[in-house]
Structures are given as structure tokens and as C-alpha cells.
A and B are shown apart, each in its own frame.
Chain A
Amino acid sequence: MERKIIEVKNAIKIYKSGDEEFRALNYVSLTVYEGEFVAIMGASGSGKSTFMNMLGCLDKPNSGSYFLDGVDVLHKDQNELAKIRSKKMGFVFQGFNLISRTSAIDNVCLPMIYSGIDEPLRIKKAKEALRIVGLSGRENHMPNQISGGQQQRVAIARAIVNDPPLILADEPTGNLDTKTSIEVMNFFVSLNEKMGKTIVLVTHEPDIAEFCKRVVTFKDGNIISDTIKKKR
């Protein structure tokens, strides 16, 4: 049987603002197997960000179940979730979200500090991750000294350095120009194909979704289409 990395069933998320209630997720179910490269599409307010936060264990649904790599994460406390985040997944954000005034290598080292890896090994692995994303020799550059594309590659290095099975990318190309976007996307493709990472990527650009093997579209808190374009 294939390894289920993500298994969400009947997730409901309700936001309240004053008297009004807003259902951001409406009985959403999705299963992602190991080695998939999934694009999540949808207009803003469609529930895709809420879904993403839930996948990243940053938010919990009001009802439903979520198993991450076989673990029931909805019944874990904050600290256990932090451990799961550092071991099971890597985040790549739209705004890069590197820690400012902190060198590239220190940014990449951060997840390993929290997962308790010793300093010598930490530096070795961080250098290796930066080499994979093609940034050897820029270890000591500050985020404001390198281009957007390079910053995003540092962020990717940070996401893969703990060798997690799942990578979550929230509009990773949203702040990049077309040429850099294509570079970054090609990089995700090679992560998926060569390193076997399972990737879930949120985007609203169809061009970007083209790089993925499966496209899931959200609308008004529901999944309205789920197309597998390419076999894993």
C-alpha cells in the first residue's frame, strides 16, 4: 500500500467576525500520497490558505480529521506540533520569510537548532542544502544582499535541510518575476522527481500549476476539481 502523507477528511473551519460566521472550509477531504506534486488553486477567499495553514499544523479545523504521515495531528498539543513541524515538513512562503540581518547559513541552520542537531553537523548539513539550491559561496550573505530568487532558494534550502517528507509552499513565486519563477518552479520539480519530496504548492497562476502533477481547485470552501495530469 502506498504511503499516505496527507489524509484530510471532512474538515470544517468556521471563522467568526462579530455576528457573522464564515465557513472557510466545508467538508473538505483530500488525500496526498508520497511523491505527489500537488497545486492548490483558487481565488482569494476560496479557502486555500486556510487549508494550507491546516496542513502546516498552524491552525486546527473545527471538525474533521487530519492524519499527517499516519499521525493524528489534531490531538497533539502546541509543543508536539512544533516538533512535528520541524521533522515532517518544510515551509516555503510567498514573502520568503527569512530572518532579516541573519546570514543565509544561519537561516538554514534554524530548523536544525529546533530539532536538536549538534552544531558541527548542523553547519555541514546547511552547507550541503545551500549547495543543492546552488548558493555555495553565499553562506554568509545577508538576505538583503541577495536577489529575490536567491532568497527564495535560501528558504527552500531551509525547508529541505531537516529532510522532511513534505514540503508546503504558499505562493512561492508570488513575489518573483516570470524568469525567476520558472527557475524556482524547475527547482521544485527536481526536488519532487530527484529527491522524492511530496510537495503541496498554493498558487493562483495557471502557468505555475502547469509544473505540478495534480491540480486541486478550491471555491467557496469546497474542492470543485481534482485533476491528476501526470502519474507519480
Chain B
Amino acid sequence: MDIKSTLKMSLVSLKINKMRSILTSLGVIIGVSSVIIMLAVGEGASQKIAKDMESMGSNLLMIHSAAATSGGVRMGRGTKPTLTLKDAEAIEKECTGVLGVSPTSKETQQLTYGNQNWSTSVTGTNGAYIYIRDWEILYGRNFYKEELKNSSKVAIIGNTVANELFGDVNPVNKTFRIGNVPFKIIGLLKPKGQNGMGQDEDDTVFIPILTAQKKVFGSDFPGTVNMIMVKATSDDVLNDVEQQINEILRRRHRIGTNGLDDFEVRNLAQMQETIKSSARTMSILLGAIASVSLMVGGIGIMNIMLVSVTERTKEIGIRMAIGATTFDIRMQFLIESLLLSLFGGLIGIIIGILGALLIKALTGTSIYITCFSILISIGFSAFIGITFGFYPAWRASLLNPIEALRYE
């Protein structure tokens, strides 16, 4: 018997029981569409996390000074002023595989321009900071070397600050005040939007770090910084660079072999990996839940196929009497269940995609439908059709033709 005729025959008997076929497929339809939706939502979430992570900059290492202890009371991270500008210079000079080093100090300051004022975090840093954190300058320019060395009063501002102080006017070359100190704006940053924690990345001002220390922040420990950011040339050398930084800083801070670090190096890539893997776990979990409904759909198919075999016992007997082999009978029922599950799978994919788009439209959740989830759904429904169709088909093929013919 050729496959085309079997296919045709199975299609005919499915068409005879239209309603039943549709209801049987419903289990698979629901299963497949929920797999598609769940995977789309899960994938959308991890893509969003990845995007948020990228906005922080990639291949980053962050060096903080350790916590200070004052009269037995431990202060927070970065409170012990052990990191210096000289450390940053040493790292830049001695480390291999480093693309840029940027010492930073941060403080909240009041900004004024004309009759407008605004409070925001002011970061004292250098020119490397822009590309270390993946910023782009929309108008104007980055700091010049001389400006950094001479502690010039120049600033690069974020989009939010520009809007609050200047409205629609281009702020480049305007002069505003940080505290009481007048600063000339040399650059406007391209907006980044919110970061992963919901903070507005564009609400920021960068000034040369020497300027910040000498003229704005009024540090108790001149020459120290809150944090040093290091951008490695690639993902692969990140751990090696971290190792080098540890060696350099321990040497420079004269920490013996058994001494505790007075600084802490944090690897942003590791954090990203952790968050990504938890997102991945989430989508696997969602997928697993959805697979359960696929499983239930498969059992539904098996149930109906068993009913169908019993109901069509006589038909099976007739087919056997006029020359059907056990293989022919098995194939017919197997193909029927395969068709049911594939039909369910296809409808499920359509409903799943529509459902995911609907969720996006209604809630604004980011979704991402992967080719993988569609392929896995088709594969899974075919698998279910064959697995759960096999037992009924096998039972049908084992019927005794005489008894089957006598069955009423």
C-alpha cells in the first residue's frame, strides 16, 4: 500500500468525524499554543535583560575600595579611601588586554542655569568613560587631554539634564553652574533610556575628575576615587585582566601574601551571566509547564484513537478480510493520529503567535518568537502523535479478523 493512499484514507476517516477530530486536536492546540506563548514571553524577557545589560557597557571590571571601619562601625563599600588616580594610571600602564581605564567619583549636586535648577549625580571621570560605558556623544565632543590635566571647568551632560535646564535649546557651549562653580558644556550625550533597574541613565553630568576633586566635591582625601572602571579588549581576557589588577593593586597597596584586599574587583560579565541564566531557567520552567498540557493533549489523542479502534472494529475486520496486512492497519491508525496532532500543532502555532502578539499589544511585555520554539512545537506534536498513536494502532492491527467481522 502506498503512502499517498494511506494518507488519503486517513484524511477521509478524520473528515467523517469532523467535530471529534477537532475536539481531539484541541488538547494539542492548547498545548502547542501555550508552549509558543510561554517561550515567546520567556525569550522576550531574557532579550530585554540582555539589552539592559548592554546599556551598562560590556567587558567591564569595576574596582571599588573596601569598607572603612570607624570606631568599630563598618561603613559601606567604597568608603575606605584606598583607590587613587595613581592606581588607575598604573593599571592602564601595566595591564595587558585593557582597552580603557576610567577612575570615577560620584556625588549628587545642584545644577543651575538661568532661573532653572535641577539636582543630579555628577560624575568626575576621564575621556575613556564615554566609550567604557558605551555612551555616544550626540552634539559636541569628549574631554581634551589638556582639560583633564588642567582641571578645566567643562562638562558633558545627559539628555534629561539638558531637557530640564535648557528645554529645546541646544546646550552645547552654554555655561551653567554645578553648585557655585560655572561650567561650560562641551558635549551632549545620546539618550540611552532607562537601565535594568528602572533608573534614568540620561540624568547625569560628567566632568574631569581633577576638576571634581579640586573644585566641586571638596574631598577629605585628595587624589582618591570611589571606583575605577576597566574595559577589557574582549570577553576572553576578562579573567586574566582581573588577575593582573589584583596583583598590581596588592603590590601598590603593599598588602602581604596573607593580608586582606583593601579593594574589590567585580566582573560585570559574571553578573550578566547570572541574570541571563536565571532568565533562561525561567523560560525552561514556563516551557516545562506548557509541555504538560501538550502531554495531556497527547493522552487525549490516544483516548480518542482507542475509542475509534473499538468503534471501527468491524471496519478493521473488513479491511483485513479483503487483504489489508497488519502493517497496513497499523499505518492507517498511526497516520490518523499523526495527522490529528500535526493539525493541532499547526493551529496551535498560529494561535500561539497571535496570542503572543496580543499579549504584547495589551500589556506591552516584550515578546520574542523564535524559530526554535516553532520547530520544537512541530517536532513535539509529531512525536506525540506517533507515541500516543502507536498503542491504539498496534491494538487495531492485532485484532482477530473473524471476531472483528462478527463485531456489531
Contacts and interface: CB of A to CB of B under 8 A. Distances in A.
Interface of A: 53, 56, 58-59, 78-79, 82-83, 85-87, 90-91, 93, 97-102, 106, 110-111, 113-116, 119, 158, 162
B322 to A, nearest CB: 5
B319 A110 contact: yes
A82 B318 contact: no
Given A58-B402, A93-B405, A114 B2 contact: no
A79 B405 contact: no
A110 B405 contact: no
B314 interface: yes
B1 A114 contact: yes
Nearest to B5: A113
A184 B321 CA distance: 21
A110 B322 contact: yes
Nearest to A102: B12
B12 A82 contact: no
A110 B9 CA distance: 10
Given A102-B12, A116-B1, A91 B326 contact: no
A82 B320 contact: yes
A106 B321 contact: no
B405 A78 contact: no
B261 interface: no
Interface of B: 1-2, 4-5, 9, 12, 16, 314-315, 317-328, 401-402, 405
A130 B367 CA distance: 60
Nearest to A87: B323
Contact of A99 (B318, B320, B323, B326): B318
A158 B5 CA distance: 17
A115 B318 CA distance: 15
25 contacts: A56-B321, A58-B320, A58-B321, A78-B326, A79-B327, A82-B320, A82-B326, A85-B322, A90-B322, A93-B405, A97-B405, A98-B318, A101-B16, A110-B322, A111-B323, A113-B1, A114-B1, A114-B319, A114-B322, A114-B323, A114-B324, A114-B325, A116-B2, A119-B4, A158-B322
B15 to A, nearest CB: 9
Contacts of A106: 12
A78 B322 contact: no
Which 4 residue pairs spanning A and B have beta carbons closest together?
A86-B323, A114-B323, A82-B325, A79-B325
Contacts of B321: 56, 58, 85, 91, 97
A91 B322 contact: yes
B93 to A, nearest CB: 83
Given A90-B322, A101-B16, 6 more contacts: A83-B325, A99-B319, A113-B1, A114-B1, A114-B319, A114-B325
Contacts of A113: 1, 5, 9
A97 B16 contact: no
B328 A114 contact: yes
Given A113-B1, A114-B328, A58 B401 contact: yes
Contacts of A116: 1-2
Contacts of B319: 99, 110, 114
Contacts of A97: 314, 317-318, 321, 405
A115 B402 contact: no
A68 to B, nearest CB: 14
A98 B12 CA distance: 15
B5 A99 contact: no
Contacts of A115: 323
Contacts of B326: 78-79, 82
